[in-house]
Amino acid sequence: MNAVAETPVAPAGEMKTMAAVAQALHDAMADDPSVVVMGEDIGAPGGSFKATRGLLEAYGPQRVIDTPISEASIVSAAVGAALSGLRPVVEIMFMDFVTLAMDALVNQAAKARFMFGGQCSVPMVLRTPHGGGLNAGPQHSQCLEAWLAHVPGLKVVCPSNPGDAYALLRTAIRDPDPVVFVEHKGLYGSKGPVDRAAVATLGTARIVRIVRPGRDATVVTYGATVAASLEAARQLAAEGVEVEVIDLRSLQPWDRATVLGSLARTHRAVVVHEAVQAFGVGAEIAATMADEGFDDLDAPVVRVGAPFMPVPFAKSLEQGYNVGAAGIVAALRRTLE
């Protein structure tokens, strides 16, 4: 089911994204004793970004499980726990390290329901931060979500704000199938409204309003580049150009109905993500627009992503590598021409 959830959401309070993730974990564990969390340093240290702080004291070591430094073992154990009736939430410290767990995630978790004829499910969540901006270098800054969205059986979520981080994580934990929950570490400190009663649906995009519905162009994005896209839209609004920004929130499944509906109104589109542009999520969305939305297009779909190279370590180089408002404005001007 695809339905548009538009901002603003009625808030029940404000918190930072990291706190919203922590609150979602606390609430999920309080509501369901089958929810357990697993990962490196998630107990007494509270996780590398402190998203699991307080869980050990509240729920004990049988539900808050510190693991050895072996991502392959962590995810393999989580798959077994999920098949046995638990709902494990695994934290992989950086998305770069999910490469070490691909067999358990891709060959086991994603395929179990299909291979066993629907007789079992793997209700697990793999939480992991991605993205640059913190000068963490090429092995701690990658955005690898396109790899995972390519795998049948996996769901992939990437929120852009605290409210969605809370609601989507609660939904992911309740889901009967494996969900990769991608958090941008540069957003952990961002603050916004969180409604703990809100219900989110995987596969539902959010149209981010500035003043009114877009008329001239659509920007499709997710995660940290939502803010950059909004800034680009504000800059062009000063020139009388109305841009509609769509926050996908869920990458697999993704809300093609909302995206194609916006394209039918604006007739021009730019797809933006921080990940490397080549063979990325944006390529799939652009291809769908060119196929299913061809009659609505008045200009080619333009993609904005990172260059095809590892993430640089130096701050000056990383600033040039990262996707920002200036590059999105340039892409919008190109499609508006």
Does the active-site annotation cover 150? no
Superfamily for domain range 15-193: Thiamin diphosphate (ThDP)-binding fold, Pyr/PP domains (3.40.50.970)
So what's the pLDDT on residue 67? 96
For residue range 281-304, list pLDDT tens digits in order. Answer: 999 999 999 999 999 999 999 999
The domain locations on the chain are 15-193, 206-336
Amino acid at 14: E
Does the active-site annotation cover 267? no
**Set 40, 71, 284, 318: catalytic member:** 71
So what's the pLDDT on residue 135? 87
Q: Which residues of 159-187 are buried (b: 16+ CB within 10 A; e: fewer)?
A: bbbbbbbbbbbbbbbbbebbbbbbbbbbb
Domains 15-193 and 206-336 share a fold: yes
Mean pLDDT score of the chain:
93
Q: Tell me which fold the domain 206-336 belongs to.
A: Rossmann fold (3.40.50)
Give the pLDDT band of residue 84 (cuts 50, 70, 90): very high
Say if residue 8's pLDDT is above 70: no
Structure tokens at 179: 């969900």
Residue 25's closest CA among 48, 5, 50?
50
How far apart CA 35 and CA 122 sit, in angstroms, is 13
For residue range 116-154, list pLDDT tens digits in order. Answer: 999 999 999 999 999 998 888 999 999 999 999 999 999
pLDDT mean over 168-183: 98
Sequential DSSP letters for 3-36: ---PSPPPPS-EEEHHHHHHHHHHHHHHH-TTEE
**Set 40, 91, 130, 140: catalytic member:** 140
Provide the sign of the torsion angle of the four alpha carbons 70, 100, 110, 39, taken in this order: positive
How far apart CA 143 and CA 132 sit, in angstroms, is 8
